[in-house]
């Protein structure tokens, strides 16, 4: 589904941050990326989703067999790449439901589909909000306005379930997840997972990986993947830290 080959990226006029990343994600897989602060984890997710503050200087990002290096973020989203926002924007006057309806229909339009019929949309909102225990009054609130950390998380996972992307990239790095939020993310991801989609999960929390069993764990340090293992690698990191890998 996603192949990253020798990816190098930098900030405009800045130093190189990603220094040759290789990664392959197949349908049905969950990959976790861990690693020290400042390693380039968030940068990697931003580069995959196409944020324009970063410039790819070498290498390729291939999604479903197609090089997407030059695609705009919205094109990537329409192709089925979802990324959660570490710092979600507030949109006063636009409700949680209306925002996601618009986003979903936007994606359908880009793929040559008509708007989702209102009845179908309503059923989908009901189904997914029930999964995440989201109440009606929450759906009617202005997007992200005054949301608590947990509410932001819940909304983010709700967006993921609604948009039903092929690849979901979740950056949990700086969000200060408490136990409730951890569960929301874990339950959401587990109900999302299927044979046809994939998840790239960035986390510092070994505990999150107790709930979401990753197929692969990668350690990113100084812009490179320096180790790849299975779920047991996360436990080893928890115990030993990163120092033993950095020498
Ligand atoms: N837009 C930017 N402008 C300036 N420096 C940046 C920018 N984005 C990333 N960097 C730098 O690139 C490096 C990697 O940052 P990044 O946010 O990807 O790290 P991270 O692995 O996600 O860290 P953390 O675990 O703390 O979330 C850091 O040194 C950071 O300061
Ligand atoms: Mg980060």
Ligand 1 atom 27, closest CA: 173
**pLDDT of res. 65:** 96
pLDDT tens digits, 164-207: 999 999 987 555 677 777 888 888 999 999 999 999 999 888 88
Q: If you write DSSP's letter for every residue of 153-214 in order, what string do you get?
A: HHHHHHHHHHH--SEEEEE-TTS---HHHHHHHHHHHHHH--TT-EEEEE-S-TTHHHHS--
pLDDT tens digits, 23-70: 999 999 999 999 999 999 999 999 999 988 899 999 999 999 999 999
Q: Is 106 helix (H, G, I), strand (E, B) or coil?
A: helix
What angle do the packed helices 118-131 and 179-192 form, to 10 degrees?
A: 130
Tell me, using a 6 A CB cutoff, whether residue 97 lines ligand 1. Answer: no
Which of the four pLDDT bands, split at 50, 70 and 90, describes residue 17?
very high
pLDDT tens digits, 69-91: 999 999 999 999 999 865 566 77
pLDDT tens digits, 109-139: 999 999 999 999 999 999 999 988 888 899 9
Site of tokens 């996601």: 100
Q: By the 8 A CB rule, do 156 and 96 touch? A: no
Tell me, using a 6 A CB cutoff, whether residue 142 lines ligand 1. Answer: no
Tell me, using a 6 A CB cutoff, whether residue 41 lines ligand 1. Answer: yes
Q: What is the count of structural domains for the chain? A: 1
**Confidence check: pLDDT of 247 > 80:** no
CATH number at residue 217: 3.40.50.300
Query: Which range marks the domain in which residue 231 is found?
Result: 2-246
Q: Where are the beta strands (DSSP E) in the chain?
A: 2-11, 16-25, 30-34, 54-63, 66-67, 81-83, 91-95, 142-143, 167-171, 198-202, 216-221, 224-229
Residue 7: CA count within 13 A, CB half-sphere: 32
């Amino acid at each position: 589904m996603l192949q990253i080959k020798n990816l190098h990226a930098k900030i405009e006029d800045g130093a190189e941050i990603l220094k040759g990343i290789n990664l392959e994600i197949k349908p049905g897989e969950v990959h976790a990326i861990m690693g020290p602060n400042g390693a380039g984890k968030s940068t990697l997710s931003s580069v995959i989703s196409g944020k324009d503050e970063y410039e790819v200087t070498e290498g390729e990002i291939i999604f479903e067999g197609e090089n997407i290096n030059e695609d705009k973020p919205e094109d990537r989203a329409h192709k089925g790449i979802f990324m959660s926002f570490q710092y979600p924007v507030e949109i006063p006057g636009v409700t949680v439901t209306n925002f996601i309806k618009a986003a979903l229909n936007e994606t359908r339009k880009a793929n040559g589909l008509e708007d989702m019929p209102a009845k179908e949309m309503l059923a989908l909102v009901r189904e997914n909000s029930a999964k995440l225990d989201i109440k009606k009054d929450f759906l009617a609130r202005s997007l992200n306005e005054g949301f608590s950390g947990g509410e932001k998380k819940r909304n983010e996972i709700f967006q993921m379930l609604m948009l039903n992307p092929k690849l979901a990239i979740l950056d949990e790095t700086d969000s200060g997840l408490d136990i409730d939020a951890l569960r929301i993310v874990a339950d959401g991801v587990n109900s999302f997972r299927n044979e046809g989609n994939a998840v790239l999960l960035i986390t510092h929390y070994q505990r999150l990986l107790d709930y979401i069993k990753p197929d692969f764990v990668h350690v990113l340090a100084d812009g490179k993947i320096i180790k790849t293992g299975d779920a047991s690698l996360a436990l080893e990191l928890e115990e030993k830290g990163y120092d033993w890998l950095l020498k």
